[in-house]
Chain A
Amino acid sequence: MKMLKTILKQFVHKPVTTTFPAEPAKRFDITRGHVVFDPSKCTSCMICMKRCPSQAVTVDRAAKLWTIDLFRCVICGQCAELCKFGALSVDPAYSSSARPDERGVETYEITYVKPEKPKKDPETEDEVLKRE
């Protein structure tokens, strides 16, 4: 009897669920959906590869390829934050589904820019320290 009010209420209010494919899913501006790469801006500095916590990104300087495994990527957004050249950004739309044989690997060709000796790069600094 105590629940009667709750039960009766269910008959009058609108459904709380959405008819998903017909009605698009709710997203916010800052939702982390998937990583978008812009090959024209990348200078193959390899920061994203070194700092990705799930090792989803591979930068091959010799072959001029930048690869992301979307199934490995945990969409933490760290690479987009660290890329100094603005080549990476996070899009609010979730990445589309893929067949297992595709495995969601995306490969881009990059214009390899020979890196100048960076003055203040914590990564290289560390390596110099290690070598000494």
Chain B
Amino acid sequence: MTGKRTVVPFGPQHPVLPEPIHLDLVIEDEHVVEAIPSIGYVHRGLESLVDRREYSDFVYLAERICGICSFTHSSTFCQGVEGLMGIEVPARATYLRTMWGEYSRLHSHLLWLGLFADALGFESLFYNAWKIRESILNELEATTGGRVIQGVCKVGGVRRDVTNEFLSGMDKRLDDIEAEMQEMSKVFLSDYTLKKRLVGKGVLKTDAAYNLGAVGPVARASGLVEDVRTSGYLAYGDISFKPVTADGCDGYARCEVRCKELFQSVDIIHQIIAGMPEGDVSVPVKGNPDGEFFSRSEQPRGEVIHYLRGNGTKNLTQFRVRTPTLTNVPSLVAMLAGAELADVPQIVLTIDPCIGCMER
């Protein structure tokens, strides 16, 4: 390439990406040579609030780190505090947490698939994905009381129980939802135009994904078997599933992984409902957290880490979150190098960016 180098600013406000991330794209002859990200537009300083809020109230704030992975944030935080204090959570509560975690994965992936179709100009597919997401949100609202912010996790268990009759009804409704998703994902995976715009775009080779520390669907689409759920936290130890992987290493592979994970989640929820133990859903909590703990979970976007340190008072002394989007930024930069300028928006979208989550 011998053209003149130009710098094109992308964001912080961009029509396809309703989240504030800024990228300086160094381009040469319509090809991106380098992408320089800059972040910090929506920093809220949530992490420093731990020394002003009690650990049991902070669950609600941890939940608001991200609007889409909210449930997993709260359950990861609770898991951390429970680890610090040595609390044994009742089995029914861990099963319910797993179920809601999988429901949030379904709703997050459907949201992303819809937004992605919208970004590519495929409006009817966008409506279809969001129509299915609506039934998932109804299930969440009927069981937890909240549509996107569930507010149902607490230290020591969960705040609400779900009746067994409701669970068996849920089993049947999931089958209908699965049939609709089947139809929708067929379009995603076989449509000519979508394939044209995704195959071979935003390539992240397996080695590069490993070296740059990619997590979640981005890593799995590059052929890496990276899934925290296999470590068996919550109730995942009792459930049989295999991480979904694809070896395309491109945007299409990422789309494929997310489509297939929809069915995996439905399968996990069926298993959860079948194996739901009886008993209490929470235990009383006494004392204050002391010591330090790393709590890991698999969010819809990848691995999240909550680091907590307590000193025996009601307030934690330190709280640090590493969210999957932050981990995936180096991979994004690698994907963009060499891409065409016109493909930049959908390549950025394929990592499922969540900037509010990334900056806390």
Contacts and interface: CB of A to CB of B under 8 A. Distances in A.
Interface of A: 2-3, 6, 16, 26, 28, 30-32, 51-54, 74-78, 81, 90, 126
Contact of A126 (B151, B160, B314): B314
B5 interface: no
B58 A53 contact: yes
A74 B144 CA distance: 15
A30 B60 contact: no
Contact of B141 (A2, A16, A31): A31
Nearest to A122: B314
B53 A32 contact: no
A30 B139 CA distance: 12
Interface of B: 53-54, 57-58, 60-61, 64, 128, 131, 134, 138, 141-142, 144-146, 149, 151, 159-160, 183, 186-187, 190-191, 314
* Residue from A51, A75, A76 whose CB has the most chain B CB atoms within 10 Å: A76
A2 B192 CA distance: 10
B161 to A, nearest CB: 11
18 contacts: A2-B190, A3-B191, A6-B128, A16-B134, A28-B145, A30-B145, A31-B145, A31-B146, A53-B58, A54-B60, A75-B151, A76-B60, A76-B151, A77-B151, A77-B159, A78-B57, A78-B60, A126-B314
Contacts of B53: 53
B133 to A, nearest CB: 12
Contacts of B128: 6
Nearest to A92: B145
A112 B282 CA distance: 34
Nearest to B49: A53
A19 to B, nearest CB: 16
Given A6-B183, A16-B131, A53 B60 contact: yes
A74 B60 contact: yes
Given A28-B145, A32-B145, A32-B151, A53 B57 contact: yes
A51 B54 contact: yes
A3 B187 contact: yes
Contacts of A26: 138
B183 A30 contact: no
Contact of A30 (B138, B144, B191, B314): B144
Contacts of A76: 60, 151
A76 B149 CA distance: 9
A126 B315 CA distance: 12
A7 to B, nearest CB: 8
Contact of A77 (B58, B131, B145, B183): B145
Given A28-B142, A126-B314, A53 B151 contact: no
A30 to B, nearest CB: 4
Contacts of A3: 187, 191
A81 B159 contact: yes
Contacts of B142: 28, 30
A74 B57 contact: no
Nearest to B288: A126
Contacts of B187: 2-3, 6
A8 to B, nearest CB: 13
Nearest to B131: A16
A53 B160 CA distance: 19
Nearest to A81: B159
A44 to B, nearest CB: 20
Contacts of A31: 141, 145-146
Given A30-B160, A31-B145, A32-B151, A51 B57 contact: yes
Contacts of B60: 53-54, 74, 76, 78
B186 A74 contact: no
A51 B314 CA distance: 12
B68 to A, nearest CB: 16
Given A51-B57, A74-B60, 20 more contacts: A3-B191, A6-B187, A28-B142, A30-B145, A30-B160, A31-B141, A31-B145, A32-B145, A51-B54, A52-B57, A53-B58, A53-B61, A54-B60, A74-B64, A74-B149, A75-B151, A76-B60, A77-B151, A81-B159, A126-B314
A114 to B, nearest CB: 26
Contacts of A6: 128, 183, 187
Contact of A28 (B134, B141, B149): B141
A4 to B, nearest CB: 12
